[in-house]
């Protein structure tokens, strides 16, 4: 009898787990979080929303400095702007190898020290950070819990139902320019946070570049690299220069073209040390970059 009860109880538990698993798979496949407009989207989700096609033929990948600098809609080169907050080369290697995106013919790496920094925090909502064993609902727990909480409050008369405000969400762009004192303060802060450890804090991402190059070679993808422009109103951090030259060396060793745009723009084009001013600087950058992209 005990064995029969155990089997019945075990069968019930198994049924519940199967139902939960089926729900999780359906919920993940539905794309409701990304498409409903009720949720803030990360930069990858915004890029995917704007480019739903299965294969992105030409892609330019980099961190938020690329996001704010490359005006895809003004470019004649046909590249998808895959600029994302906290994007690194380690991320890109994982993105490509996992099949998260499919690149058709060309990939450009838009490099700066931020895209190569091993110690910088990432955005945990990026889907490639989800472990293979992690339920989708659990991975999305913060967004789901927030929505449920807001809905319950609205039902209780203590708030309003969410509207679909995020249907028109864009990536973060930068307007206006910092003063020289503000820039100098930012340089000092960035050095303290990310550059004080020197080149040792960039080794993993520099190594990931070779993974990306190997993937591209194996899949017939033309790969090139560029170093993003930097604001000439302030002196470059010596570690920044070290990282640039280390990246150049990795590219040269792999036979990959390295296009140095460090000094390509004037100070009027920048919001801060590396993010370009969207209304003017990004337009100028796109004009200059296009000449190289189509070469």
* CATH number of domain containing 110: 3.40.50.1110
pLDDT at 2 > cutoff 80: no
pLDDT in tens, 217-247: 999 999 999 999 999 999 999 999 999 999 9
> Is the domain of 13 the same as that of 51?
no
Residue 287 maps to a domain? yes
Report the distance separating Cα 225 and Cα 60, nearest Å. 9
| Residues 54, 6 share a domain | no
If asked whether residues 81 and 11 sit together in one domain, one would say no
Q: What is the 3-state secondary structure (H, E, C) of 168-224?
A: HCCCCCECCCCCHHHHHHHHHHHHHHHHCCHHHHHHHHHHHHHHHHHHHHHCCCEEE
Q: What one-character DSSP code corresponds to residue 40?
A: -
Q: How many domains does the chain have?
A: 2
Give SS3 for 235: coil
Q: What is the mean pLDDT of the chain?
A: 94
Output the six-digit token pair for 292.
Answer: 């190289």
State how far the alpha carbon of 5 is from the alpha carbons of 1, 11, 12, 112, 187, in Å: 6, 10, 11, 63, 68
Quote the pLDDT of residue 3. Answer: 47
- Asked whether the beta carbons of 205 and 88 are under 8 A apart, the reply is yes
Per residue in 85-124, pLDDT (tens digit) is 999 999 999 999 999 999 999 999 999 999 999 999 899 9
Q: Do residue 113 and residue 208 come from a single domain?
A: yes
Residue 145 lies in a domain: no
Say whether both 189 and 246 belong to one domain: yes
Site of tokens 């727990």: 141
Are 251 and 272 in a shared domain?
A: yes
- Say whether both 112 and 87 belong to one domain: yes
Measuring CA to CA, which residue among 289, 291, 295, 253 is closest to residue 66?
A: 289
The verdict on 59 and 18 lying in the same domain is: no
> Is the residue at 144 inside a domain?
no
Closest CA to 243 of 85, 62, 116: 116
Residues 24, 76, single domain; the answer is no
In a domain? residue 277? yes
pTM for this prediction: 0.91
| 70 and 16 assigned to the same domain | no
Question: Per-residue pLDDT for 6 more than 60?
Answer: no
Residues paired with 60 in a beta bridge: 81, 108
pLDDT at 14: 82
Looking at the domain assignment, is residue 162 inside a domain?
no
- Per the structure, the complete domain to which residue 248 belongs is given by 40-122+171-293
Q: Are 186 and 220 within one domain?
A: yes
User: Given this model, what pLDDT does residue 9 score?
Assistant: 64
Give percent above pLDDT 70 in the chain: 97
Distances (CA, A) of 237 to 113, 119, 187: 10, 17, 8
CA 37 from centre of chain: 20
Q: For residue 1, what pLDDT is reported?
A: 54
């Amino acid at each position: 009898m005990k064995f029969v009860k155990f089997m019945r109880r075990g069968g019930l538990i198994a049924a519940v787990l199967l139902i939960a698993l089926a729900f999780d798979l359906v919920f993940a496949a539905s794309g409701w979080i990304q498409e409903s407009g009720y949720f803030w989207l990360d930069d990858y989700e915004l890029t995917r929303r704007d480019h739903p096609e299965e294969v992105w033929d030409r892609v330019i990948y980099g961190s938020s400095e690329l996001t704010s600098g490359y005006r895809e809609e003004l470019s004649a080169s046909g590249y998808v702007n895959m600029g994302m907050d906290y994007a690194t080369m380690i991320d890109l290697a994982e993105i490509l190898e996992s099949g998260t995106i499919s690149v058709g013919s060309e990939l450009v790496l838009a490099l700066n020290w931020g895209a190569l920094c091993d110690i910088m925090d990432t955005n945990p909502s990026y889907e490639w950070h989800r472990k293979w064993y992690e339920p989708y609902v659990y991975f999305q727990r913060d967004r789901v819990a927030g929505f449920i909480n807001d809905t319950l409050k609205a039902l209780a008369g203590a708030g309003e139902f969410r509207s679909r405000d995020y249907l028109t969400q864009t990536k973060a762009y930068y307007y206006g320019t910092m003063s020289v004192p503000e820039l100098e303060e930012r340089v000092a802060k960035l050095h303290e946070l990310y550059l004080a450890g020197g080149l040792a804090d960039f080794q993993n991402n520099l190594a990931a570049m070779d993974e990306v190059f190997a993937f591209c070679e194996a899949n017939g993808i033309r790969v090139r690299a560029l170093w993003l422009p930097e604001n000439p109103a302030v002196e470059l951090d010596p570690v920044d220069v070290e990282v640039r030259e280390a990246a150049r060396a990795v590219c040269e060793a792999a036979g990959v073209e390295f296009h140095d745009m460090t000094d390509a723009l004037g100070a009027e084009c920048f919001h801060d040390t590396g993010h370009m001013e969207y209304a003017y600087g990004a337009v100028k950058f796109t004009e200059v970059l296009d000449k190289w992209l189509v070469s």
